[in-house]
Structure 1
């Protein structure tokens, strides 16, 4: 194929005839692709670079105006605007101008932070957006739909969203929902035949597939012929304006409500200020009211929340958990139960056929564990049936292969859509599979037996696929109809769960002969063998077949029920899927954190129980015999039939819900979630198929598989796992807990500072000057500086704090819990101590060191102004009084600044002493504290900035008071934490309890 130049190749050509009128071979030539091997990765990258992403113009754009509107219309901005207006009304232009600058700066910073966070979220949503399976470089891979290029060979099945417009060249029972394009309510059955009419309506172009439509049945392959705005959906999009609707999370909504409640409190406190000053509304009273209004609002809270969330989303993406909805970040910390699939999530999804059993013929073992490599042999076990005794085993060759075994291999190879092949290029010696892992294992088995699909479809057999009935999750089976051209006979091959396959059988293959199926005689032997395989953790498939002589017309009219009827039972194949090495440790971590894990799988009960026991979902001492003897509180292993047969009342009476549900259907998953919700549990549910979307939506946190999951499942989920690994779920829960814990830490830091400011200013109302006006212990700009410059950076440092080593030893937090009683009491206590120490320093400077004169008009002027109603005013004495007011105010401001910065380290842990914390492990926090100290010092000593802007003067001996206040504050903090550690219930209450209960039989009397 090679590379191509833009001049010689048009990616979106205007062909002389529409694609539906072209034969597949001509479409392949036109798009310069190979329908077997697809494009090379290099060609795909080149085409993507030349012609852009496969997306609609404007798709995914974040609304600039929506983000800006949210920054302007909030409680913080309203308070600042009101403060600015009051300052200008009373001709305090310096203060009004600074407040205006702060308001604009805060809006710009908040806008840039939130806009950046939204862009980050949008880029991550794209990572979790629909993916499409394509064949590139002879390998089947999943790529983001936006990376599809013209010429890609797309592979799709039930539940997938079509990624681009394409020309079909292979279909099996394919039906596609095209309602969004055509308005047709029923799915359209597809074909590969050429359509002659050029102007055929869109809905009648049945050999074409279109972007954004959904596969409702079957499977197929197609060549991508149009992408992006060239697709049919793109033509519609040209007439529509696309915008992104950003939803607020419950936490963000609660904090917005909280901010407006604080805004109301600010108004109430301002009224109190006016009342205490006998409604003398002059500039000094107005400034005091502005100060107390600003002190109520934690200005940096929204920005810190946004940054913390964005950082958490990025961290989770690095750890293979892509967050599609911010709600999931908050919900993860509340998860009490995880309902997980087995295959590919708890296990490696590296299926290997290791055993087989044929009635009357005995057991077989299959050697070779090298993934998809067909290297290995098959041995018929000795008469003892002990497959481990290799000396008695007989190697199976084409010369001694029995009739029943031959049919078993044929069924494995032909009732199978997977393909295994050797790699090309650098991976020349590596075998890989295209298709379902279970079917790939069966295909490797057929290769080892010498009868793979390529052999069976060539001479002398020449089997040809006529009809396929895809695997049905309700029926738990799949079947195909093949024609053997050498004899013109038709064969139906069937595979699936043993119960389902056996129900379709009326006969049994015994050697070269068939016999009527005597269920009473045969089933005990069958299920005994099945249990042996399942108890070794194997997934067991049963296979059957029948031979019929029919005409082509009759065969094509068959329904599934008719095709699957009157089958001949062949035998069993055991497939082993080893658990992921990290699954057991992850499950142990869950139980240690108070999170129950349930396995909901389609496997046989014994297989599911064996794997569940191996990875720790079931107690180590669990066994079917002990369960039957009633040694456990509840039946820990149930089938879906058993669980579904229970009424809701009966389920609610169970002391404990089952840990394992086998043969699970999508409806069973929904019933399990409902049962957990009735017990007030918070549920995370994993899923990958289109039928899992109801349970993913119903769960509190829906988690879809990114590698093997359908696009419908991904769209219904809150989180997408890019590695399909259960351990990633546990890491995501840990990250969710870390984020919520950090939010509590910086809320405690910010609000304890606000509480201290309120206490200082309310008590400060008692300091009355010569005109009967309250003296302000801190100016409005000092408070703004504390809230914006001093508090916000350390709060951001707390927002990125690492998770504590015990984060997964705490119980799941209550849903929606933010302000626990401990947090509330901490906030009040720290606020009282900080506010009290600041006021004490204010009093010392004025009354103990100074002369106690509060002067006149010192709120607004560093020198004071004599008013006409006070003829005895002494300007020199007034200047001394205002000077000490400004120095006392500087002392109060510095006390607040230094204590708040050090207090950030106290907030790292609610109970641990500060000396146990490492100073350097949170560099953002360290530099924000250090920077806050350096930033505050110039405000005391730069002329004009200190007196006219901050309403303070330089200080000297007062630094001793400030350092003393910091030391006293830390003593109060450590004494308080000591009593909490001594008298409050320890936080690490779950350490060891999960393991004890999970692994001790004594816990199940």
Structure 2
């Protein structure tokens, strides 16, 4: 713990004289021992390995087995079609994931190219990769810190650490500070400077105590490097479905052979029949359709400013019930802003929208002093310098007290720079025929050096009563988590030395500032809560500040719902996981804490989304079910570790993305139930014919055609069905919920049974037209072909019509709008055209063993095809009646 050791102890342990630094020879020796100051990462996955990773799925194994068997029995066309489906599915996955793992690469880019060090008694500029433990690094404003340092000198040094700690304001550094508590948070270690943070003010020196992977940034890199890939809820459901279908296919084959032996049928013929049943049981197009629908979902979400990097993440969004959000830049504007100011007995709030505000004399003097006593710039919405000073200049702009104009009228002639011990800054500016001292800083320090106060335009003696009023106003602002600054002035007729400026001042007032919430976030949080989603704030900022923002945004109600990183460390993982749901605000946390929080929520069965923009957010983004990075303010590291990027940095977009994710999952569920209903109908048709010793009504080629073409088009159309308007009025679904929950399984069985029975009925009518029955022997081949054609058309037609009824589990097709999904209407029309083409075009008719039908039989098969749709609509009407009664 370098922060708990004195400068002398650190220098002795690292064996270096700060006045001379390391010798070049010693630096070379240490470079060989410790290696270059460069972050390491896992080797990139090749395109080939990415491709084969897509094949590691039970459903794919089943399809590959089916392809192998069909090839063995000489059905090469079927085998090629199945293999094309598998390859298409894998290619879609590779394209989406190729650019996903960029976190370590981005971290490497963040290392500083050049740094100032003292070696051989001289200051040299070297590549940051050559820095070693023991090097003395020179720090000045504007330079990135090249490694983790224990400061040995600091003069008004401030370092911006928001990417690492989440704090909005640069941290004051003090080389002489000492911290004995080993659990001191990174944000409180004022005697340390960390790799890839930025010095914004002052100067300093530090001795390198950690390089490369041994830095705080390196710790984050190690976490990102861990293999934390987990299956999404959709992937788990599909894997379970694949296993189930695989076992069903094997079971059917075994059962067929058992029946065949009992019935003394031809075993080779039954082997072919078993294959056709296995083909019927497996929806060959399912994997490809899921990938296509998710890809279309990705495109749709990009239009609402959400870039999804991994296909399954689209669906996972729909199950999210916890949004863990970083505070700075995500919930807040990442811009310090003056929100209140106080002159004696006059407390006012600053309008967030109003400009050109007229101020009283006391208010004008307060603002004027704060603006003139600042070194930052702020023009056209862009600022440079200390964020606090930028806020003060922005404050002045609202009251037409523009810094440039004030500087030209009141030229600065001397100054006493800010000092962390004094906590004050003073400037001496021309004022009329004389000069005026302008001082800003901690109000208690200002009151100590003031003898008068400005009240109602008059300078009066500073009494205890007036002093108490200022302190009380400051305390109230602090209690609301505002950062408080006081202002004072003094007129003089001569140029004063810095040491003479801060005496006998006239106190004017105070201002309170904060990084305010984003305007639109509050409504989004309310919408999320209505949808059963719990918003949670995780930040490296102070507890009071975090809770104040959380209260304003209605994330938390009291400080009891918050916990700090040091308090988390006192709990075991089990105890923390048990209490995790009691907390809505996590303050003063490190990157390791963020990961621990995400894991604790996940251990309670939650689906967790984590939002963030800093380097410190990257590990938790990677560990969350859905990591969401900010596209504008986000670092490359956070974007690389995330699953989704918000191009507008808007929390509201997350809620919209969740809504889209819910609808996409519902659509996937629709077409899975649709495909399984269709396949159940096929299995029932073939299995019943074998069980009762009837001729088989469908050939393997016909089943494959229906599965890959006729079924797939409506399935894709169902996958892009317009969203349910009421989807965000419901609670998030249980991630363990089956595809068949909420009656979906029963609907699939009813629909499949109807389709199967009607297909058999059509086969029966086709035979009866020529005087044969299902039990007849020696049926002529042309009669069998005609009857199979009728069952083929009924099977395809009933499935096409049935897709209309699948669009909603309870609403009728008229309630949701018959023409509200024109893609589905188009799919049904195209499906019938293709089906008619297969029967009518001689070449295709011969390939599929079908025959053209008479006009009367076309009418009969259309009536049969409509029955499953009509029955399902009747069932839904009874379900609606039951819902209304409840």
TM-score in same-fold range (> 0.5): yes
Query: 1:783 corresponds to which residue?
Result: 703
- Residue 63 of structure 2 corresponds to residue 85 of structure 1: no
Distance in 1 separating the partners of 2:599 and 2:843 = 67
1:814 match: secondary structure: coil
> What are the ranges of 5 or more consecutive residues in structure 2 without an aligned counterpart?
1-42, 118-124, 150-162, 165-193, 202-211, 213-226, 431-436, 455-461, 491-497, 499-505
Query: 1:379 corresponds to which residue?
Result: 360
- Between Structure 1 and Structure 2, how many residues are aligned? 739
**Residue pair 1:707, 1:722 contacting (<8 A) in 2 also:** yes
Distance 1:508 1:750, change over 3 A: farther
Query: 1:732 corresponds to which residue?
Result: 657
Query: 2:238 corresponds to which residue?
Result: 255
Match of 1:67 among 51, 54, 67: 51
Distance in 2 separating the partners of 1:527 and 1:715 = 47
Distance in 1 separating the partners of 2:126 and 2:408 = 33
Query: 2:16 corresponds to which residue?
Result: none
Distance in 2 separating the partners of 1:272 and 1:816 = 31
Match of 2:485 among 517, 522, 542: 542
Q: How does 1:176-195 map to 2 (within 5 A)?
A: 181=129, 184=132, 189=137
Query: 1:291 corresponds to which residue?
Result: 276
Distance in 2 separating the partners of 1:546 and 1:669 = 45
Query: 2:433 corresponds to which residue?
Result: none
Distance in 1 separating the partners of 2:271 and 2:406 = 93
Distance in 1 separating the partners of 2:463 and 2:288 = 73
- Post-superposition CA distance 1:572-627 (Å, at most 9, x none): 323477765543442332232122334567589699658855x6657xxxxxxxxx
Structure 1 residue 736: Cα displacement: 1.3
Query: 1:440 corresponds to which residue?
Result: 390
Match of 2:248 among 265, 273, 281: 265
- Residue 471 of structure 2 corresponds to residue 526 of structure 1: yes
1:778 match: secondary structure: coil
Structure 1 residue 328: Cα displacement: 3.5
**Residue pair 1:357, 1:573 contacting (<8 A) in 2 also:** yes
Distance in 2 separating the partners of 1:407 and 1:680 = 55
2:808 match: secondary structure: coil
Distance 1:272 1:642, change over 3 A: closer
Query: 1:687 corresponds to which residue?
Result: 612
Structure 1 residue 100: Cα displacement: 3.7
Query: 1:836 corresponds to which residue?
Result: 757
Query: 1:99 corresponds to which residue?
Result: 78
Structure 1 residue 276: Cα displacement: 1.7
1:852 match: secondary structure: coil
Query: 2:716 corresponds to which residue?
Result: 796
**Residue pair 1:352, 1:576 contacting (<8 A) in 2 also:** yes
Distance in 1 separating the partners of 2:416 and 2:640 = 34
Structure 1 residue 927: Cα displacement: 1.8
Distance 1:593 1:891, change over 3 A: same
1:969 match: secondary structure: helix
Distance 1:647 1:747, change over 3 A: same
Query: 2:36 corresponds to which residue?
Result: none
Distance 1:310 1:348, change over 3 A: same
Distance 1:790 1:280, change over 3 A: same
Distance 1:454 1:904, change over 3 A: same
- Post-superposition CA distance 1:95-126 (Å, at most 9, x none): x243244235435544554455556xx4xx59
**Residue pair 2:516, 2:549 contacting (<8 A) in 1 also:** no
- Residue 797 of structure 2 corresponds to residue 898 of structure 1: yes
Structure 1 residue 831: Cα displacement: 1.2
Q: Select between 258-267 and 523-532 the one with higher mean Cα deviation.
A: 523-532
Distance 1:909 1:462, change over 3 A: farther
Distance 1:761 1:506, change over 3 A: farther
Distance 1:951 1:343, change over 3 A: same
Distance 1:599 1:438, change over 3 A: farther
Distance in 1 separating the partners of 2:86 and 2:782 = 35
Structure 1 residue 842: Cα displacement: 1.8
**Residue pair 1:530, 1:540 contacting (<8 A) in 2 also:** no
**Residue pair 2:285, 2:707 contacting (<8 A) in 1 also:** yes
* Alignment TM-score, normalising by the size of structure 1: 0.61
1:765 match: secondary structure: helix
Query: 2:197 corresponds to which residue?
Result: 217
Q: How does 1:628-639 map to 2 (within 5 A)?
A: 635=558
Distance in 2 separating the partners of 1:441 and 1:791 = 61
2:110 match: secondary structure: coil
Structure 1 residue 898: Cα displacement: 0.7
Q: How does 1:166-245 map to 2 (within 5 A)?
A: 181=129, 184=132, 189=137, 215-219=195-199
Distance in 2 separating the partners of 1:607 and 1:267 = 58
Distance 1:668 1:246, change over 3 A: closer
- Post-superposition CA distance 1:713-754 (Å, at most 9, x none): 444443332222121111011111112111111111111111
Structure 1 residue 813: Cα displacement: 0.8
1:789 match: secondary structure: helix
- Residue 884 of structure 2 corresponds to residue 962 of structure 1: no
Query: 2:8 corresponds to which residue?
Result: none
Distance in 2 separating the partners of 1:941 and 1:714 = 55
Q: How does 1:735-750 map to 2 (within 5 A)?
A: 735-750=660-675
Distance 1:606 1:117, change over 3 A: closer
Structure 1 residue 298: Cα displacement: 0.8
Distance 1:678 1:284, change over 3 A: closer
Q: How does 1:363-374 map to 2 (within 5 A)?
A: 363=346
Distance 1:257 1:406, change over 3 A: same
2:320 match: secondary structure: coil
Distance in 2 separating the partners of 1:350 and 1:271 = 69
Query: 1:595 corresponds to which residue?
Result: 533
**Residue pair 1:635, 1:658 contacting (<8 A) in 2 also:** no
Distance 1:694 1:539, change over 3 A: farther
Distance 1:246 1:335, change over 3 A: closer
Query: 1:312 corresponds to which residue?
Result: 297
Distance in 1 separating the partners of 2:485 and 2:71 = 81
Is the helix fraction higher in 1 or 2?
A: 2
Distance in 1 separating the partners of 2:92 and 2:820 = 25
CA RMSD of aligned residues (A): 5.7
- Post-superposition CA distance 1:177-218 (Å, at most 9, x none): 999x5595799946689xxxxxxx9999xxxxxxx9994333
Distance in 2 separating the partners of 1:734 and 1:366 = 36
2:319 match: secondary structure: coil
Structure 1 residue 693: Cα displacement: 4.3
Query: 1:884 corresponds to which residue?
Result: 783
Query: 1:976 corresponds to which residue?
Result: 875
Query: 1:332 corresponds to which residue?
Result: 317
2:360 match: secondary structure: strand
Q: How does 1:900-915 map to 2 (within 5 A)?
A: 900-915=799-814
Match of 1:757 among 677, 682, 688: 682
**Residue pair 2:766, 2:786 contacting (<8 A) in 1 also:** yes
Distance 1:676 1:541, change over 3 A: farther
Distance 1:67 1:695, change over 3 A: closer
Distance in 1 separating the partners of 2:664 and 2:403 = 52
1:750 match: secondary structure: helix
Query: 1:225 corresponds to which residue?
Result: none
